[in-house]
Chain A
């Protein structure tokens, strides 16, 4: 079934692609007159912020557009054949054989009730006439090729028995088993931890080089782009604004939008701000511990140490960053400090007052001193309350009159650079970045001494992220706040933190001034983490 790899011309050529949006949308077209091509043996990165139409283009190429998004103009040429209006049957023949796609979330892209081997086998049964033994050996070969250990056992496993990285490898095996000419990867590493991400990127690069595939790689992460791309196409609101060689676009961008994006990508160099060592300590944790125990009636007790022996301190006017991969316990620590969950052991002091073991009644007067901003701006505001109601809720709880609280809310809106008219409106009328500003205003309305940002900029696009980071920095300085900044993103951490604590498996493995930790990490996990950071040595926007 292997088609000739020779042939001239690009693997994929998109010409003047235009895809309409349903009426009542914020713009008329999801994608407008987009043209680009992917040559053989080339990785083209399609980058853009959310809503830029990059995934819609992928769907259009695969022939997976929903009926509500009709392709209104343009051509999609796969090895010279126009498939933009190809009949379903033809598309079915082409998928997996000439073009394949891998998705962001391998857990949902794999069928949970089918063994991994059977899922790869399904592709072979659909598209080839191979005998069962031939299929089996082909499956084992491809599983070996995506560098999975113990292929014999792995093909018998169900998706839930594998880790996220392993699942993504299975997806890749499935996509590549018939050696397609084109691989479309739609944010394939976004759901993965940074160390796993590095491995998957390496795998895609190796396989691409070995098979000479064309790869259309969709991502919003410029670090990943710097690592993997040969050429880059930048999308903004459905239009292609700039395209070219990786170094040309990332280092010498020409279009204003690209220039702005490149300036927004945080560097991995710590900011090196001088911090006074004698500022008063606002937060101190001593041997903080959180264990979860399963109380099964029939099974043995299972104990999970979400956080153990965490001792940290944050001084006034300074930012402590907690960095780590998912499951490292960084959010658990934050939630213990806010007392959204009760710590199992250890102490938490806010300005010298112990709060870890206070009853909720005794805790109440102290709650206002610690405020938190969450990751997901779409879920951190009650959809049924106006922005104004959200911001005054806290102050009113502590006895401020509504009129006074509204006055404070108006001042805060100014501080977070939003219009006071926003107070009358509902959260759904705002974008992610604006909502995050509102959440910051809500936290500040309590006049806290410690502000915790729990992945507060992780869900935001890079340009918006830069704005919110700038805002947080400004606020910390103006109000002389202590800040605890939790993130998985080393770039963000480097930009805002004075001190850094690196967490892994519930423990702090390295803790010190940002300059030291970033420049000369001592612990081997920290080093591995930094080594895995995509595009770590790449200088964005600097020729």
Chain B
């Protein structure tokens, strides 16, 4: 009698009907228009970067004095390193040394994407570790965060210029120089997330279950910071691509023999009035790339971060 009463009550209770059909995060992410648009644009750029040698390009460093300052779409000749002369269509024209701007821009995609992604990963990796430690181990917080404040006090671009100037310019030095000023930003984000999550009852439950500190940090806290970090990563990536271009444009970035959008624009700057496409074409690529990363980041933020989710 008692058992049937209890069972009846459990059926009547609203709880039974309370299991909601759930849409997984991944499904929500895939439905987001921004994620699709940004993701598609980035996928195309990535394909361009990978397939650069097969997209009708020539060696981007090769020049031919006879084909200087050509307008877009003009035919011309190029002499290869072997001394052969080949016919070549300069789709985006050529620069004042007779280099094919199309090939340079296409190869430049590789540098930009690589720099953006690697800087984001580096900044996230260091930021996560420092942020976790600062947020969870309270006595280290003061020391670590004052160092981070110190780095943040100097404008990012100045630190980057100073660091590149100190070392020999190379892809690695540029990446490190751009990543360092980004670390404090990630650290602050992670630390603030950790400060909230460490007060969550599930973390306290883990403490009372005798879970060691390092396991709590990496097993309970870190996985719950991933969503905002992915978003932060995309914005770091976009900023890194821009800063790399700025450094190259200022001539303190990658060595001139590596074609990047920044140094193509820098070289085109002198002849901007006669040949504006030398600046505009890499500029358009840069804009599209940064925009795509930002749109992707916006979409991810809307879908991953519950605080940003549109309220029902």
Contact = CB atoms under 8 A, between A and B. Distances in A.
A51 interface: yes
A155 to B, nearest CB: 33
Interface residues of B, number: 32
Interface of A is mostly: loop
Nearest to A259: B12
A394 interface: yes
B18 A397 contact: no
Given A24-B23, A367-B210, A431-B19, A372 B205 contact: yes
Given A66-B312, A431-B18, A461-B15, A379 B202 contact: yes
B198 to A, nearest CB: 11
A257 B16 CA distance: 13
B14 A382 contact: no
Given A394-B210, A398-B210, A26 B18 contact: yes
A384 interface: yes
A322 B12 CA distance: 31
Given A26-B18, A66-B312, A446-B209, A260 B223 contact: no
B206 interface: yes
A55 to B, nearest CB: 13
Given A367-B209, A382-B202, A382-B220, A236 B14 contact: yes
Contact of B207 (A340, A430, A467): A340
A257 B17 CA distance: 13
A130 B177 CA distance: 66
Interface string B191-225: 00000000011101111111110000000100110
A2 interface: no
A208 interface: no
Interface string B15-51: 1011111110000000000000000000000000000
B205 A442 contact: yes
Nearest to B17: A237
B59 interface: no
Nearest to A377: B201
A430 B19 contact: yes
Contacts of A379: 200-202
B208 A372 contact: yes
A463 B204 CA distance: 28
Interface of B is mostly: helix
A168 interface: no
A26 B21 CA distance: 6
B224 A383 contact: yes
A431 B200 CA distance: 19
A68 B212 contact: no
A355 interface: no
B210 A463 contact: no
B210 A374 contact: no
A338 interface: yes
B307 interface: no
Contact of A463 (B13, B205, B207, B223): B13
Contacts of B167: none
A325 interface: no
Given A428-B22, A461-B14, A381 B202 contact: yes
Contacts of A374: 201, 204-205
A187 interface: no
B137 to A, nearest CB: 13
Choose among A27, A66, A397, A428 the residue with the greatest number of B CB atoms under 10 Å from its CB.
Answer: A397
Interface string A414-430: 00000000000000111
Given A364-B210, A397-B209, A439-B205, A467 B19 contact: no
Interface in B127-160: none
Nearest to A370: B208
A398 B312 CA distance: 44
A372 B209 CA distance: 9
A263 B202 CA distance: 32
A68 B309 CA distance: 14
Contacts of B22: 428-429
A463 B9 CA distance: 8
A268 to B, nearest CB: 21
Given A52-B14, A429-B19, A463-B14, A340 B9 contact: no
A218 to B, nearest CB: 16
A121 interface: no
Contacts of B201: 374-376, 379-380
A260 B13 contact: yes
Nearest to A417: B10
B150 to A, nearest CB: 20
A6 interface: no
Contacts of A446: 209
A313 interface: no
A25 interface: yes
Contacts of B9: 260, 263-264, 463, 466-467
A367 B312 contact: no
B210 to A, nearest CB: 5
Contacts of A381: 202
Contact of B15 (A26, A263, A433): A433
Interface of A: 22, 24-27, 49-52, 66, 68-69, 236-237, 256-257, 260, 263-264, 338-340, 364, 367-368, 370-372, 374-376, 379-385, 390, 393-394, 397-398, 428-434, 439, 442, 446, 461, 463-464, 466-467, 470
Given A52-B14, A364-B210, A394-B209, 6 more contacts: A372-B205, A372-B208, A374-B204, A431-B18, A431-B19, A467-B13
20 contacts: A22-B312, A24-B21, A27-B17, A50-B14, A51-B18, A256-B8, A260-B12, A340-B207, A368-B210, A370-B208, A372-B205, A372-B208, A380-B201, A382-B202, A382-B223, A432-B18, A463-B15, A466-B9, A467-B6, A467-B9
3 A-B pairs closest in CB distance: A394-B209, A431-B18, A380-B201
